[in-house]
């Protein structure tokens, strides 16, 4: 497929059911509302706001453990509110769906600690209740604390986690795509038959990690399989995404690193027999903007006065799998082996190769606002110029926008940046009708035939009871 010539920029909002998500310490700012994360009003008002800006969706991250790599304890994470306390993201969706019509919901859930059989039902339920606006961000886990609290000594090795996830997805595809025929539910009042038993099939899965013999206990939802999101950019993560992902989130410290990452992902998609543009790629970014450059800079400096460098190092230690408390701030990060998010170290090595070696202090200062992603500061026109430049030069589709303060960061983007992009024809004027999958790709509600999951569809050639098929 030829690269689209007039591709419009896409936005997601990046949040988490917690206080300090990416920007450590900013919960203290008088305009920040993240401490009300445990109320429905926070989430419903945010959803309505994002829909006014035609955001593709709200992407909600999650962890099932605390960041306790820094200093070998979780005390600094608890003190800074660094993604703890944190609540379940899935329970937020129904309320947000009720007050919106188009906004998508990308929900993070891990493959390591929940069996795929009940998880399949939970996602099908949300796809029904949202009328097809649900997506699942597939994560394999990276925090050792989560593993310990689930009865393990540590996480599985990085690549082993993806091997396990491969079978997890296989079970789900069989349940979502291969158990119920499209016309199984007949609702025949005269005969009293609600569902035709002959059109509901056991999946008969017997694999290395899971045995699931029976049927999916939910009827097919609008999308059947939710939109598959993925956020791993390691070599193994890219291979996993190439077969499964329909939207991919990356984080890169610079435009040059981002261009390399995007190119690798598109090559992998093509090698997997899919189109190079079969997945939308969004990069992590925090935008601080206002009516003039001077006002935007003043806003940034105000935010920075509330930032916590300790909190940033807590996050970075967890993401890298390296205790950064053992280093002096002036020391270079260096080459270390990670069993956490390997792409973080890969990106930093690429920066070193480009002549920009990061110190621990750089990580603390840069990460205090925006976490793993860079931040942009400027007027709406300046931000729009930079976003269009990045899309043109890196081939990325859009931006996963984190907040400095919530909901103010997104409100500023809607007020100052989106009107400029729209005036240039570079941002959608509104939403495409239909499901989240159709909104993103314009090819209907169901998985396309070349997607890995489509081979498990009834009639696609994979027997329902095939061992490990």
- What digits encode the pLDDT tens for the residues 410-427? 999 999 999 999 999 999
Please check the confidence at residue 468 and state whether its pLDDT lies above 50. Answer: no
Asked if residue 407 has a cis previous peptide bond (ω within 30° of 0), the answer is: yes
| Residue 321 pLDDT | 81
Confidence of residue 161 (pLDDT cuts 50, 70, 90): confident
pLDDT exceeds cutoff 70 at 278: yes
Q: What is the pLDDT of residue 60?
A: 97
Average pLDDT of the chain, as a whole number: 90
Q: Does residue 4 surpass a pLDDT of 60?
A: no
User: Alpha helix (H) ranges present in 291-372?
Assistant: 293-304, 309-320, 342-353, 360-367
CA distance 258 to 106: 22
Check residues 5 and 37 and name the one with the higher pLDDT: 37
Supply the pLDDT for residue 426.
98
CA distance linking residue 90 with residue 149, whole number of Å: 21
Asked if 315 and 61 count as a contact pair (C-beta separation under 8 A), the reply is no
For the CA atoms of 67, 17, 224, 444, the dihedral, rounded to the nearest 10 degrees, stands at -110
The contacts of residue 228 (CB under 8 Å, 6+ apart) are 135, 136, 138, 244, 245, 246, 247, 453
- What are the pLDDT digits (tens) for 90-104? 999 999 999 999 999
Range scoring the smallest mean pLDDT among 188-202, 317-331, 354-368: 354-368
Please, which pLDDT band fits residue 337 given cuts at 50, 70 and 90? very low
- 338: pLDDT confidence band, cut at 50, 70 and 90? very low
User: What SS3 class is residue 86?
Assistant: strand
pLDDT value of position 466: 47
Least confident of 30-34, 276-280, 316-320: 316-320
Task: Give the pLDDT score at 64.
Answer: 86
d(CA 375, CA 360): 18
Give mean pLDDT, residues 214-243.
93
Please report the beta strands in 34-162, taking only residues with DSSP state E, as ranges in sequence order: 57-61, 104-110, 134-139
pLDDT at 242: 94
Q: Which is more confident, 153 or 42?
A: 42
pLDDT of residue 345: 54
How big is the CA angle at 318 (ends 315 and 321), to the nearest 5 degrees? 140
In this prediction, residues 354-373 reach a mean pLDDT of 78
- Average pLDDT of the segment spanning 295-301: 97
Fold of 10-186+195-308+373-456: TIM Barrel (3.20.20)
Q: What is the DSSP string of 208-261?
A: SS-EE-S--SS---SSSSPEEEE---SHHHHHHHHHH-SEEEE--SSHHHHHHH
pLDDT-wise least confident of 43-52, 152-161, 350-359, 460-469: 460-469
Residue 315 Cα distances to 55, 162, 310, 340, angstroms: 27, 23, 9, 12
Instruction: Work out the percent of the chain whose per-residue pLDDT is above 90.
Output: 72
Give the range among 27-41, 115-129, 260-274, 361-375 with minimum mean pLDDT. 361-375
């Amino acid at each position: 497929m030829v690269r689209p010539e007039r591709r419009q920029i896409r936005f997601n909002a990046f949040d988490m059911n917690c206080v300090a998500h990416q920007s450590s310490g900013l919960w203290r700012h008088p305009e920040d509302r993240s401490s009300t994360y445990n109320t429905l009003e926070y989430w419903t008002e945010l959803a309505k706001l994002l829909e006014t800006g035609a955001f593709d969706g709200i992407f909600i991250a999650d962890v099932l453990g605390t960041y306790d790599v820094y200093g070998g304890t979780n005390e600094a994470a608890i003190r800074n509110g660094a993604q703890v306390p944190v609540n379940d993201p899935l329970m937020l969706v129904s309320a947000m769906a009720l007050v919106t019509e188009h906004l998508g919901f990308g929900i993070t859930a891990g493959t390591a600690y929940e069996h795929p059989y009940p998880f399949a039902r939970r996602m099908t339920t949300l796809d029904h209740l949202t009328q097809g606006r649900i997506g699942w961000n597939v994560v394999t886990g990276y925090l050792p604390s989560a593993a310990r609290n689930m009865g393990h000594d540590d996480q599985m090795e990085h690549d082993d986690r993806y091997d396990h996830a491969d079978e997890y997805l296989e079970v789900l595809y069989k349940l979502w795509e291969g158990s119920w025929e499209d016309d199984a539910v007949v609702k025949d009042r005269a005969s009293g038959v609600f569902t035709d038993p002959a059109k509901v099939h056991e999946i008969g899965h017997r694999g290395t990690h899971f045995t699931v013999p029976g049927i999916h206990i939910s009827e097919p939802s609008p999308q059947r399989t939710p939109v598959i999101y993925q956020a791993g950019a390691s070599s193994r993560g890219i291979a996993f995404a190439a077969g499964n992902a329909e939207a991919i989130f990356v984080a890169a410290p610079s435009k040059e690193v981002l261009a390399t990452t995007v190119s690798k992902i598109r090559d992998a998609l093509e090698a997997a027999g899919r189109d190079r543009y079969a997945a939308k790629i969004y990069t992590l970014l925090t935008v601080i903007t206002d009516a003039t450059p001077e006002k935007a800079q003043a806003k940034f400096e105000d935010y920075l006065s509330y930032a916590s460098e300790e909190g940033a190092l807590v996050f970075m230690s967890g993401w890298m799998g390296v205790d950064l408390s053992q280093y002096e701030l002036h020391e270079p990060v260096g080459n270390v082996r990670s069993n956490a998010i390997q792409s973080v170290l890969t990106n930093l090595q690429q920066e070193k190769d480009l002549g920009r070696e990061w110190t621990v202090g750089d990580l603390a200062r840069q990460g205090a606002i925006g976490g793993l992603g860079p931040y942009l500061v400027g007027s709406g026109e300046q931000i729009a110029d930079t976003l269009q430049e990045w899309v043109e030069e890196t081939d990325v589709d859009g931006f996963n926008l984190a907040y400095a303060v919530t909901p103010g960061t997104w409100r500023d983007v809607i007020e100052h940046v989106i009107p400029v992009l729209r005036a240039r024809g570079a941002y959608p004027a509104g939403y495409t009708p239909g499901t989240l999958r159709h909104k993103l790709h314009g090819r209907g509600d169901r998985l396309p035939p070349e997607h890995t999951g489509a081979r498990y569809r009834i009639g696609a050639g994979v027997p329902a009871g095939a061992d490990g098929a």
